[in-house]
Chain A
């Protein structure tokens, strides 16, 4: 579940070195757009999800051109811009939508039974979509021309430029893809846990945990980190209650990071 949310964030961060703090807010907006089309306008849910992906992805294009490109390689100022975007998006949704929780109806209602455990189909779909997106991204990076260009850019910027790769175009594509992924995640999670204007912060935290635990520069690491964090979140509340489980989970992540300062599968960044 976390994988599908964190994937876009991790993708953008690993490939372009852009730390998109606004990812959580974008994910939230995507959920609201889907809600508007699907519930307020009464369109088919899949159609409204596709519309939401399209709108948010084009917003990603705008974001890259006007907010990330001027500050390429300057994490501090990128962070300021992202916080600005978060403020604008959250306030806008807050004014237009109100603070109370809304829920997108389930894409596929019902339960599926597998032996002793029963899962809602919605959860299964979310899991499958997350896995498929991850696999598709890895395939894209490994096997397509554009993906290989992005890898080149992330490995050596000057070298990539000398080979005639249009860095800005790769970066714009990465940004559009990342926003698209955020939007898919937002729609699915909106159906699963509901929508509030301030739900982005929690997801941003989870995405950060995933990327840092997996290690910068490793897409495969995200999968394992996602399994670890998902497993921790699911199993810890059995042993300790409420907030303590969060604290213990974070403590475990911090401890792991102290033994492997560059993340589980990461490379060193200076």
Chain B
């Protein structure tokens, strides 16, 4: 995927498509060569988080920086888990329900939050996310937030990790295709227009608030579903998955991969989640690996990891540096 990230030539589209196809084939074959159950587990978690971060990036296309994404994931996860556990419903019904509840909350806060801009939006949504986390604690009777929710019904009965691997790969692909179609539709163009200048966009008859709420709803739905499948895959939930640190890390995944490109969150999540696991023998020192990745990327690659091929090309030609994308935050 990363080879295709910055290609702009005529053959770029074909190259991108074939690179995606190649990646999917490699991912399909991977479980045949990996015997470690743990590594497959890591891959599954990565698939789920790719959906979450890709939906986060879709929201940022409209120039909003919501720092409450982990909280929305929590809404989806806890809704689905608690409803299916308390009422004995099938997870296949409650996961979409979790997605719709997250979407409803997104719409509910979307309209008032459309008043806020740039930094204030980011910060107020951060407070909102932490408020949501506290609500989980208040509903401790159902969510068991303090000691962790266990005994959530499984998604697939009697399935092995490999079954789950293929299921979640399909799930991630489906969600990514949907988000891709959304971003490169007419709506996506409108969203980019709003991000560039909300005043010009409103002057040509685009309802800014409507589209900002729409994209928030879409992003929240996908992350809610991701939270739901996570709950039924892992079968336990604990609150640190959904707190401020988790939100910031999701944002890190997007930024490291490259916020300006659709492939960004995919690459970023994959690198930051899988690479540190390969250094597991270092035990307590593993976070240093993560920090090293952050520093290398942020100092050497202004556009994130997807900007790497372009950077290499420009070094090759001796044209000097590629300019960074100024962050609208």
Contacts and interface: CB of A to CB of B under 8 A. Distances in A.
A84 B292 CA distance: 8
A209 B115 contact: no
Contact of B327 (A77, A91, A94, A205): A77
B327 A75 contact: yes
B252 A80 contact: yes
A242 B118 contact: no
B298 A270 contact: no
B20 interface: no
Given A205-B244, A250-B128, A270-B117, A79 B295 contact: no
A83 B127 contact: no
Interface stretch (A135-143, A157-165, A184-192, A258-266): A258-266
- For the residues of B in contact with A, the DSSP-based class is helix
Interface stretch (B29-37, B44-52, B155-163, B280-288): B280-288
A228 interface: no
Interface string A246-270: 1100110110011001110000111
Contacts, number: 123
Interface of A: 21, 70-71, 73-77, 79-81, 83-85, 87-88, 90-91, 94-95, 201, 205, 208-209, 212, 216, 242-244, 246-247, 250-251, 253-254, 257-258, 261-263, 268-270
B287 A87 contact: yes
Contacts of B291: 84-85, 87-88, 91
B197 to A, nearest CB: 10
B245 A201 contact: yes
B329 A76 contact: yes
Contact of A254 (B119, B128, B259): B128
13 contacts: A71-B298, A77-B298, A79-B251, A80-B297, A83-B252, A88-B288, A91-B288, A94-B284, A209-B127, A250-B134, A254-B127, A261-B116, A261-B120
B298 A80 contact: yes
Contacts of B140: 243
Contacts of A21: 248
A250 B127 contact: yes
